[in-house]
Every structure is written in C-alpha cells, then in structure tokens.
Amino acid sequence: MPRSVRIASVNVNGIRAAVRNGMTGWLDGAGVDILTLQEVRAETTHITELLPGWHIVHDESLSKGRSGVAVLSRIPAAASRIDLGEGVDSRGRWIEADLEVDGETVTVVSAYVHSGEDGTPRQDAKYGFLDAMTERMSRLAAGGALVLVTGDLNVGHRPLDIKNWRGNQKKAGFLLKERAYVDRFLGDEGAQVVGVDGSTGTGLGWVDIGRRHAGEVEGPYTWWSNRGQAFDNDTGWRIDYHLATAALAARESGYHVARAATYAERWSDHAPVVADYAIGR
C-alpha cells in the first residue's frame, strides 16, 4: 500500500542563519520525510552538524558562501546527480536524488535558478540555466516517472504570483521571456505552446502543485522582501514551487505554504512549501 510522504522545499538563505533563527523548531513539528534546500551557503559537514539524523546529498557552489542545493531524506538516496550539461552554470543550483520508497522510486530535485538582471550577463546565465532545465525536465518525465522538481525558480509565472506585478513587468523574475519557460513546463505534453512572450515551444506536461491546489487566487506567496512592510502587508512573490510529473501529481494529497505567523518568527525570507504524496506499492 502507498504511504503518505511529506516533501518540503525552502530557500534557507544560509543554513547556519536559518537554524540559529529557529528553523529546527519548525522542522521538529512539520512531519517532513524529504527536505530540499536552496541557498545552503555552507559545507556538507555544516548541514550534518546542524541537522543531525538526515541522509544528505549536497552540491556546494564553487564560490564560497553562495548558493548550494541539497536533498535531505530519512532514507539514503539510491543515486544522485548534479550535472545539467557542459557550459551551464549549474554548480550549487541543481541536484537530483533517487529515493526508493516501499518498492517505488521517486526522483526529487532541488533547484535554485539564477536571480538574473535584465540586460546583463547575469540574465544570460539565467536563460542558459532555464534552457538546460527544460531539456533535463523533458528527459526526467519520460515513461511516466515519479519526479518532483522543487525549489526557488526565481520566476513568478503569472500576475497571480506577484502582488505588485504591474510594477515588476520589466524586472528579472517577471519578464515575459522568463515566464514563457514556465508556460512550456506546464503546457500539455507534446503540444505546441505559445508562451506569454509570443514564443512557441513544446509543452512538457508538468503540474504546478501550488497553483492547482490554491486555484485562481492571489498567491499564496512564498517570498517577501525584507524592505519596508512587505511581509506584514503580504506583498510577496510566489517563486518557490513543487513541479510534478503527471504521474506524481496524481498522488498529491495536500499542499500548503508554511508562512510564519509574524515577521519576528521568520527564519528565512522564504517560507517552506510543503506537499504530501502517496508513494509505494
């Protein structure tokens, strides 16, 4: 019989600072089986010391104190991979873990897409990453596999995903070209998809679990600027995702954003995104 597996994803904005500010208190009561992290900004030994009892696969950034992605689980990963292809700046930004749960294999990805900056090499790196991510997601979804891509994608897909979307239309994170990648991720598998920027491409058939669960409402947001009263006013962005293959999306049984009750209780500028999936034979 399948069992419910709880998978949470969060950009911790530095694992040491997150733990110091209360992350473990949340984690102790969250019932999480698989935890994906972005912006770890530490070495594997630091994660082991700060979060004992987890099996860890981790890809550190080549630049000390920057990015870093990890998958933590209660069972050891059967395999893991980090390479998105030659010429792609993906170190510390993409890691896959194959986990065998009661006779079934689920692949869980922790992704941290470049933030970008329009008209600069940083934006070129972001598009290069999204191109490689598109190709990899196409391969991962083949054959009805159970795959979940989680993480901080640094793209708000639709106006519903950004409170102040009108003021951000010319900024990285809500550019038409960026949003068109997500159009293709979520488009019907094999169909021609016309992106919001007018570009065409092939739909990959993935499911945005957060949007499917929330429906056509603003948010729920997952990141808030530390400036002003953004958190208190819920002036946020939904840029942290669970993107599931159709086969895994059919197993989802619950989703929520674990937003802190108050600004003072936050331990990251992102909130964990949590969902339950029935896995196992």
Q: For 236-271, what is each residue's pLDDT tens digit?
A: 999 999 999 999 999 999 999 999 999 999 999 999
| Tokens coding 219 | 């948010």
SS3 at position 19: helix
**Separation of CA 189 from chain center:** 21
Could you say which of 3.65.10.10, 3.30.70.3150, 3.40.710.10, 3.60.10.10 is the CATH number of the domain covering 3-279?
Answer: 3.60.10.10
C-alpha distance across the termini of the chain, in Å: 5
At 107 the three-state DSSP class reads strand
pLDDT at 24: 97
pTM score, whole prediction? 0.97
pLDDT for res 1: 77
User: 171: alpha, beta or left, given left = phi > 0 and alpha = psi -120 to 50?
Assistant: beta
Walking along the chain (281 residues) 10 residues at a time, the average pLDDT comes out as 94 97 97 98 96 96 85 97 88 97 96 96 96 96 95 98 96 98 98 98 98 97 94 97 98 97 96 97 85
- 75-108 pLDDT, tens digit each: 999 999 998 988 898 899 999 999 999 999 999 9
The two beta strands, 207-208 and 200-202, are: unpaired
Question: Closest Cα to residue 238, out of 153, 166, 113?
Answer: 153
147, 109 in Cβ contact below 8 A?
yes
Tokens 């159709």: give the residue: 246
CA neighbor of 69 nearest in space, from 111, 131, 20, 32: 111
